[in-house]
Structures are given as structure tokens and as C-alpha cells.
Chain A
Amino acid sequence: MRDRLPSMKLSLTMTGLLLVTLLLFCADILFGGTPVEAADVVKALLGAGSPESEIIVMEFRLPRALTALIAGAALSVSGLLMQTLFRNPLAGPDVLGISSGAGLGVALTVLTLSPLFAFSADSPLQGWGMILAAWAGAGMVMVIIMAVSSRMRDIMTVLIVGLMLASAISAVVSLMQYFSNEAMLRTYVIWTMGNLGNISWQQLRALTIAALAGMILAFVMVKPLNAMLMGDTFSRTVGVRMKSTRVLLLAAASILAGSVTAFCGPLAFIGVAVPHVARLLFRTTDHRTLMPGTALCGAAILLASDLISTVPGGGHIIPVNTVTSLIGIPVVLWIILGKNAMGGRR
């Protein structure tokens, strides 16, 4: 009996969160930079709208909302994996330099390779090429961070190494920018601002497949992830194979963060902050609940950020990174300050 009450509360919270996410998804399609009547949006979705509204809805708003949904979920789950893996509440794609790594991969393709091979923006090769480059970049940084954190017990050391890596990478990228032509430079700079809207259906398909693969891999790992909450030694003595588990978790986190970063740019603070929002909402450390909870929270928060970035100006779209930062930074501050306040809260 004792277990029934929390589990009912849990499914209620999960259902509520699902509804909120769906609502935000619909709202994200209904509202955008150019005002379109709600009725026209529905007609366009059904394929019976005016050509103009159909282009706005089908080519811009729907892919944009889908991207927000997938990117939010993927980045947040990636953050959750990394926080448990590194035993660090501040771990996340952007904090540990994973996004920078992905950025390096993208910079390499956009700034150096594509002028050489003259990729067109829409060629499927560029879609997968960018994803692969981002994975490789993210994975490389992850491996370095992992190697450092296995030698250094101190969390702060790992964070500092992450920051240094990010700086080093941005220096390399600056160098590439210096030697690249104006058009490529512009493409790259706009990419760094974080953009959910610049994605074609072709790219969206690649993103969806990659994100799904990463999510499935992550979800298969919930049991060892839970054991890791008690520490590495415990995990090993109950039969978790730590080496392969680490490799799989790193792969899942890199795939998730790398794919999103490849197409949407380095979206700030979603990966670090959202898992904490989910922990607060569900009041548990159990990954069986946290994983879907984090995915939904991430989707909802990025959809909301996207809505905020398009609605207020009326015509103007502000970079979504500004919005996610404004939402994410307070959460991160709350984690850092809350750790010290913990003793007082007993």
C-alpha cells in the first residue's frame, strides 16, 4: 500500500507534463514571427490552406516545433547521463566543453571542408556529414574529460579542464574563422547563436533518427545508471561492467548532444539545468522516472523558450540562446548556492 500513493502521484505528474508539452507544441505552431490566423494554421496542416500559410506552417513552423521538441529532450537526457556519469551536478554538454567539441566538428565541415567539396546547404551529405563531425568532436572532448575525471577525484579539476578545453577549441575555431570567406563565416556565426528554425526536413530526419538512437541507448542503461548513484565500487560488486557501461553512456551522451548541436548550434544551459528541474518536479533520483521526466521537461522548456523568442517582438526573432540562458542560469546558480544552503535546510 505504501508504494501505491507515490506511484499514482508520479503518473499524474508525468501525464500533466505530457499535456503541457503537447500544449506548448501546438502553441509553437500557432504563434510565430509572421502572424497567421489559427484557423489558417489548422487548414495548412491539413493541406487545405493558402499557399502562403502552407509554406509558413509546413516549411518553417512545424519543423521548427519538432526540432525544439527533439532537441530539448535529447540535450536534457544527455545532461542527465553526464551528471550521473561524472557524479557532478554541473555536468552538461555546454559546461564540460562537449558543445564546443561538437562546434569544432561543425566548424571543420562548414569552414574548411564544404568550400573544398562545394556542398550545397541542403545536400543529404552535408546533413550526415555535419552530424558525424559533431559526434566525433563531442566524443573526443568526452573521452578527454573522462580520462581526466578517472585520475582526478576532484570535481572542480574536471570542470576547469572542461573550461580550458572549451577555450582551446574556441581559439582553434577563431583561427579557422580568420582564414575562411565571408559567407562561410556568416553561416558559422549564425549557427553559434543557436537556431531551431534553420533546419530542413532532410536534416530533421537525420536529427530524429540520431536522437532516437541515443534515447534508446540511454534508456537501456537506466539500471546501471541507478547503481552508479551509490558509487563505482558498489556498481562493480553488484555486477555492473563499468568499462563498457562508461563507453556506452559516453556514446549515448555524445550522440544526443552532438546531433542537436550540429543542427541547432550550441543551445545554452538546457543540458545542465533541465535534469535538475526534473529532479525537483519528480522528487526522485531513480532514472526510470527521471529519464522520461527529463526528456519531457527538456522538450517543454525548449518549446517555451522558442515561443518566447518569437512572440514578443512581432516580426523579430531573438536568438533562442538568449532565452535558454535566461531560464538556465538561475537554475545553475540555484544548484551552486543550494549545495551550501543544504546544511541549513535540514
Chain B
Amino acid sequence: MRERGVALAETLELTIGYSSRRRCVRVMEHLSVSAGSGELVALIGRNGAGKSTLLRTLVSLQPPIGGTVRLQGRDLHTIGSTMLPRIVSYTSTEPVAERNITVREAVSLGRFPYTNWIGAMTSADREAVDLALEDTGMLELAGRRLDSISDGERQRTLIARSLAQDTELLVMDEPTAFLDLPSRYGIVSLLRKLTREKGKCVLYSTHDLDTALNEADRIWLMHGDGITEGAPEDLILSGTIAHAFESPLLSFSSHEGTFSFVRGKRRGIALGGDAPALSLTEKALGRCGYTVDQKADVKITVKREKEGWCWTIAEGSQTRSYSTLYDLMVHLPEE
């Protein structure tokens, strides 16, 4: 089991926002959440909910308007600027300024808080960099330039840089943005591995609900009334997730923990046949405004035949057959 001691990062009645001499914009108030060692914490919420603002406040890139942030049990403002980079690392969505930098050079910069005035690397620093490259699977690509690798590999490089910084808490703003599905899963499973094998606490913001609800130990959910935390399943059961992402177009299934489109008025259609085409046919029919009703007049039967699948639609005495779902849907009975 993971250690459950003092929270590594916690906020107490935190107010986040932007303040200048002229005015003060409060983005969110009364935020009290925490994250522990060895936990993967996903911060979710709708666009503009203040996810980035919260993360930036946690790493001291902007001051809190009110309330407290504690890292390793210490108030954030009492941690000096030389100490803070050894406790928390941060990866933003800001693009890397110099695209010609090599992977190894970029990861080496993670040692910044530990090197001397000129940034000379000791053998301990080099070992830390090698280890970070190995843990993220980037050792082979260490000599490549950042503009010659894929987006997923670039994200891994930034994670390696955070690892090289050797902090207990890793904060990442949308590390899976712009990535394709396998890369997204690759990144999240890497983050998960770091929490399990290295005991790191990884806090990341994301719009990828599926992965977050499946993989995170804890969810910080930002919604209109503040922030709610808990295991993904807790938030599903309490209905907080469904409430936070409420929209006339979406319905949330607490059973599966997934969102789907709300369909309008539906017509019944009878359906029978072989799996797995059966459930896919039901899905396609749902998109066309049908719901399965075995008492309906029109019946569709799907069968596996030698040359492939065959859909037969029976309407009274008339029957028609199609070899693809697309053809079937085009020829579904009109109103």
C-alpha cells in the first residue's frame, strides 16, 4: 500500500486569481484539497475553470489571493527560491524556446537547482540525467534534437527533465494535450509508473476524462462551486462529475463512468443477431435516432456469413439485405 502520512501538497481555503495594483480578479475561492506521496492526481474541470491558475499558484508562479498552500507541511511563502525547485517541478504547455536543443541537453537543464554558478555537471548530476532518460524510455533518443522527435517523445523529454530535477512533487499542465490516443495512454501510464516505482506524487491537469477516471488515484474536480476531491469512483457515485460537466448534449452513465451524447426522441426498432456486430449495430442505430425495442414492427437481424457480415431488415413481408452498416443506415425507413 501507499504511504498515507502528511499530505505532500495541500491547499487550505485557497483563493486563486490575478491581482494587479488596479484590480483583483478572483478565479476560484475556498479551495481545500491535498495530494499525498505516491499518488497520481488528475485535475479536471471545464475550460476556463482555473486549472492552470491553480497549478501555477501551487508552484509559486503567481501568488495566492488568499488562503494557504503547503508543500511538505511548510507554507509555500516560507520556502526560499533555492529550496522550492528541489521540492516541486513544473511542466507548462509553453513551447520550448530553442527547438535545436538535444534531448540530453534539455533533460540536463533539470539539474539547474543543483549545479554551480556556471551549471557544470558533476558525475552525480550525469547519473541523475541518465536515470531520468532511462525511466522515460528516452535514452536511445538522447542525442536527437527536440524538433526531430514526435510530440509524445517531446513530452517524455519534459517529464524526464522534471525527473532529473529530483523533486517529490511533479506538477504538469496538460501533458497529454495534442497527443494521439496511444501516446496519451503511454504518457499517463508512465506517470503512473513514476508514482508506483519512484514514490513521486504527480499532479496533472487534463481534459482526457476517460484516462483520468481510469488511472488516477485521486481526482481534483474543479466546478462552478469550487473544487471536490476523491477517488474517481467516489466522484462518479456522488454525481459530482455528471454535475460538473452538465450539458444538454451529454449524458453521464454512472455505471460505466463515461459520457455519451443525449439522443432526441427515439423510435423503436427490433434487433437480433450475433456478437460483436450486435452491439455495434445498436450503437449505429442510436446515432440515427433509434432505440432497441423488440416489440417494434421493423426488425433487423445481423448474421455472420462466409464473405462477411450481413444485415437483414424486415418490414412486414418486405426484407432487404445489406453487407455494410453504412448501407443499412442509409436505407433505414423514413418517418
B47 within 8 A of A: no
Number of A-B pairs, beta carbon distance below 8 Å: 82
A220 to B89, alpha carbons, bound, how many Å? 25
Residues of B88-136 contacting chain A, CB below 8 A: 88-90, 92, 94-98, 100-102, 105-106, 109-110, 112-113, 115, 117-120, 126
Question: Smallest CB–CB gap between B268 and chain A, Å?
Answer: 54
A230 to B112, alpha carbons, bound, how many Å? 12
Known A238-B85, A286-B105: A229·B98 in contact at CB below 8 Å: yes
Contact B165 A238 (CB under 8 A): yes
A237 within 8 A of B: yes
Contact A229 B109 (CB under 8 A): yes
Per-position 1/0 for A226-240, Cβ under 8 A of B = 111111111011111
Residues of B in contact, count (CB < 8 Å): 35
A241 to B81, alpha carbons, bound, how many Å? 9
Known A231-B94, A239-B113: A223·B118 in contact at CB below 8 Å: yes
Residues of B67-98 contacting chain A, CB below 8 A: 81-82, 84-85, 88-90, 92, 94-98
Q: Which of A223, A229, A233, A241 contacts B94 (CB 8 A)?
A: A233
A75 to B262, alpha carbons, bound, how many Å? 65
A285 within 8 A of B: yes
- Return chain B residues, CB-CB under 8 Å to A237: 59-61, 85, 88-90
- Return chain B residues, CB-CB under 8 Å to A346: 148
- Return chain B residues, CB-CB under 8 Å to A239: 81-82, 84-85, 112-113
Q: Which of B89, B94, B119, B161 contacts A226 (CB 8 A)?
A: B119
Residues of A1-34 contacting chain B, CB below 8 A: 3
Contact A226 B109 (CB under 8 A): yes
A87 to B101, alpha carbons, bound, how many Å? 13
- Return chain B residues, CB-CB under 8 Å to A229: 96-98, 101, 105-106, 109
- Return chain A residues, CB-CB under 8 Å to B112: 223, 226-227, 238-240
Q: Which of B85, B92, B113, B115 contacts A231 (CB 8 A)?
A: B92
- Return chain B residues, CB-CB under 8 Å to A228: 97
- Return chain B residues, CB-CB under 8 Å to A241: 81
Contact A233 B115 (CB under 8 A): no
A227 to B92, alpha carbons, bound, how many Å? 14
Known A223-B117, A237-B90, A285-B105: A231·B148 in contact at CB below 8 Å: no
B147 within 8 A of A: yes
- Return chain A residues, CB-CB under 8 Å to B115: 223
A116 within 8 A of B: no
- Return chain A residues, CB-CB under 8 Å to B89: 237
A240 to B60, alpha carbons, bound, how many Å? 13
A233 to B100, alpha carbons, bound, how many Å? 19
Question: Smallest CB–CB gap between B119 and chain A, Å?
Answer: 4
A43 within 8 A of B: no
Contact B109 A231 (CB under 8 A): no
- Return chain B residues, CB-CB under 8 Å to A232: 94, 97
Residues of B1-29 contacting chain A, CB below 8 A: none
Nearest B residue (CB) for A345: B148
Question: Smallest CB–CB gap between A123 and chain B, Å?
Answer: 40
A192 to B110, alpha carbons, bound, how many Å? 45
- Return chain B residues, CB-CB under 8 Å to A227: 109, 112
- Return chain B residues, CB-CB under 8 Å to A87: 97-98
Q: Which of A220, A222, A230 contacts B109 (CB 8 A)?
A: A230
A296 to B3, alpha carbons, bound, how many Å? 55
A346 to B145, alpha carbons, bound, how many Å? 10
A-B contact pairs, 20 of them (CB 8 A): A222-B118, A222-B119, A223-B119, A226-B119, A229-B101, A229-B105, A229-B106, A230-B98, A233-B61, A233-B90, A234-B94, A237-B59, A237-B61, A237-B85, A238-B109, A238-B165, A239-B82, A241-B81, A279-B100, A285-B98
Residues of A at the B interface (CB closer than 8 Å) are 3, 84, 87, 220, 222-223, 226-234, 236-241, 279, 284-286, 288, 342, 346
The list of the 10 closest CB pairs from A to B, nearest first, reads: A229-B98, A223-B119, A238-B112, A237-B90, A233-B92, A87-B97, A285-B101, A238-B85, A231-B94, A239-B85
